[in-house]
Amino acid sequence: MATLEKKLQDIKDAGTYRVLPINEGPCDALITLNGKQVINLSSNNYLGFANHPRLKKAAKDAIDHYGVGAGAVRTIVGNMDIHEQLDAAIAHFKHEEAALVFQSGFACNAGVIQAITDEKDLIISDELNHASIIDGVRLSKASRAVYKHADMADLERVLKEKRKDFEEVLIITDGVFSMDGDIAKLPDIVRLAKEYRCMTYVDDAHGSGVLGSHGRGTVDHFGLHGQVDFVIGTLSKAIGVVGGYVCCSKTARDYLLHRGRPLLFSTSLLPAAAAACIEALHMLEESSEYTDKLWDNARFFKKKLVEKGFDIGHSETPITPIMVGDEAKTMAFSKELLKRGVFVSGIVFPTVPKGKGRIRCMVSALHDHAMLQKAVDIIYATAKDMGIVA
Ligand SMILES: *Cc1c(COP(=O)(O)O)cnc(C)c1O
C-alpha cells in the first residue's frame, strides 16, 4: 500500500488526480452532476439512444421474456436466440457477411486480435490506436510494429522492411481516432494491404452510428464494403447500450466462436441489452434523422469554436478537442468549466501524449443550437480568464 500511496501522490503532484463526478440521472444533454445541472459535452451517446423510449421498451420486454442474465458463457448455454438475432441485425446493418457480438468493444479487441494472429505473424498498428487495441495486441504472440499516425509512407516503410519475414500480417487502425476525431486513411490502407498481402482490421467504435449512410460507419463512408477483413464496433457509444462486435467472414466468425476467449470464458451480453441494440439498429435503418441532427450540431459547434479562435486540431467528426497543452492547466480548465455549468472532461497523459492535453467536447443529437451556443460562450469566457485564448 505504501507503494500505491506514493504512486497516487505522484499523480496528485502532476495535477492529474481526479475525483469521479457522479451523474444522478440518465445520460442526456443536460445532466445533474454532483447535484448541479450542467450541459453534458462528454458522453459517447452520440444519437441520444441511451435513454430513448423505444430502446427502453425493447429492454423491458426482453427482461420479461428472458430474465436479466444469460446464465452462462456463449459457448455453453448463454447463446440465446436474441444474441443470434443481434449478430444478424449487425451484419445486415453494416452490409457485411457475418457479425459476432462480444460483451464490450474492449472484450472484442482483447479476444479477436489474439485469436487471429500467432507467433509467425506481424501486427502493424497506428501509433494513436485505442488502448483496447494496444492491450489486445499485447495478448497476441505475434511480433509488433507501429507506424506514425495516419502516415501512409511510414506504413509502407514498415511493410517494405518486414513483410517478407512473416506469414500473416495484420494492419490495425481506429476508424475514427477517439482523442482527435480524425478519420483513418482507409482507402490507402486497403490498397497497401492488397499490394503487400495483409489482413485489415478497423476498430470503428467512434465511426459506427456516426459516419456513412445512416451511420453505417467508416467502411461505408469510403465505399469499402467487403474490403476490410475485420470491422469492429461498439454498442456502447452511438448505439447507446453496451457490447461490442466484429464483422467478418462466416469462416472467421466460426473460428472466433472456438478461439475468441471472452466468448469462451465470460458470460454473454444481457438479453435486455441485446434487445435494445436490435431496436437501435432498426431505428438507424428506418431513418437518418438522428445522424443528420448529430452532424448539424457538430458543424454548428465547431464553427462557433473556430470563430472564437480555438485550436480544435484536425477533427473531422463530432469529436471536438480544444487543445490546451499543459496537463495541470487542462485539468484546471475542465474543473472551472464544470463550476460554470459545462461538463467537458480533460484528457491528458497517458490517454494522449505528454504536453498534448486537451478538453474533448462530444456533441450529440440531443443538444440544440441554443444549448451549444451557451456552452461555447461559457468555454470562451473561461478560456479568456485562464489565458488559454486571446
Ligand atoms: C470506446 C472504444 C472501445 C471500447 O468500447 P466499449 O464497448 O466501451 O468497451 C474500443 N475501441 C475504441 C476505438 C473505442 O473508442
Pocket of ligand 1 contains residue 132 by CB under 6 Å: yes
Residue of the CA atom closest to atom 3 of ligand 1: 105
Query: How many CA atoms lie less than 13 Å away from 319 in the CB half-sphere?
Result: 24
| Mean pLDDT score, 210-238 | 97
Cβ(285)–Cβ(220) below 8 Å:
no
State what percent of residues in the chain have pLDDT above 70.
Answer: 100
pLDDT tens for each residue of 256-308: 999 999 999 999 999 999 999 999 999 999 999 999 999 999 999 999 999 99
169 vs 199: CA distance, rounded Å: 6
12 included as an active-site residue? no
Q: Beta strand pairing status for 30-33 and 36-40?
A: antiparallel
pLDDT at res. 107: 98
- Collapse the DSSP code of 139 into the 3-class scheme (helix H, G, I; strand E, B; otherwise coil) and give the result: coil
Q: Considering the chain, what is the average pLDDT of its residues?
A: 96
Angle (deg, nearest 10), helices 250-259 and 105-116: 100
pLDDT at res. 352: 87
354 included as an active-site residue? no
| Mean pLDDT score, 42-64 | 98
pLDDT tens for each residue of 172-217: 999 999 999 999 999 999 999 999 999 999 999 999 999 999 999 9
Ligand 1 atom with minimal separation from the 174 CA: 13
Cβ(150)–Cβ(180) below 8 Å:
no
Cβ(256)–Cβ(263) below 8 Å:
yes
129 vs 222: CA distance, rounded Å: 20
Residue 15 predicted with pLDDT over 80: no
Residue of the CA atom closest to atom 7 of ligand 1: 105
Residue 18 predicted with pLDDT over 90: no
pLDDT at res. 353: 87
237 included as an active-site residue? yes
Ligand 1 atom with minimal separation from the 107 CA: 9
Cβ(268)–Cβ(122) below 8 Å:
no
Residue 322 predicted with pLDDT over 80: yes
| Mean pLDDT score, 32-48 | 96
160: CA distance to ligand 1 center in Å?
31
pLDDT tens for each residue of 358-379: 999 999 999 999 999 999 999 9
Q: Which residues pair with 245 in a beta bridge?
A: 101, 233
pLDDT tens for each residue of 75-130: 999 999 999 999 999 999 999 999 999 999 999 999 999 999 999 999 999 999 99
Closest listed residue to residue 313, CA positions, set 377, 359, 381, 373: 359
Q: How confident is the model at residue 351 (pLDDT cuts 50, 70, 90)?
A: confident
| Mean pLDDT score, 321-333 | 94
Pocket of ligand 1 contains residue 244 by CB under 6 Å: yes
Query: From the candidates 43, 104, 178, 334, which is the catalytic residue?
Result: 178
Grid cell listed for 306: 473556430
Angle (deg, nearest 10), helices 289-307 and 369-385: 30
| Mean pLDDT score, 59-86 | 97
Cα 185 → chain centroid:
17
65 vs 68: CA distance, rounded Å: 9
Which segments of the chain are extended strands (E)? 30-33, 36-40, 98-102, 122-126, 143-147, 169-174, 199-203, 230-234, 244-248, 319-325, 342-343, 346-347, 357-362
pLDDT at res. 379: 98
pLDDT at res. 16: 76
312 vs 177: CA distance, rounded Å: 14
Cβ(204)–Cβ(176) below 8 Å:
yes
Grid cell listed for 291: 445522424
- Please choose from 45, 232, 234 the residue to mutate so as to test ligand 1's pocket, defined by most ligand atoms within 8 A of CB: 234
Residue type, 387: G
pLDDT at res. 17: 84
Query: From the candidates 52, 83, 206, 221, which is the catalytic residue?
Result: 206
- Name the residue with cell 459506427: 208
Pocket of ligand 1 contains residue 207 by CB under 6 Å: no
Pocket of ligand 1 contains residue 236 by CB under 6 Å: yes
Residue 342 predicted with pLDDT over 80: yes
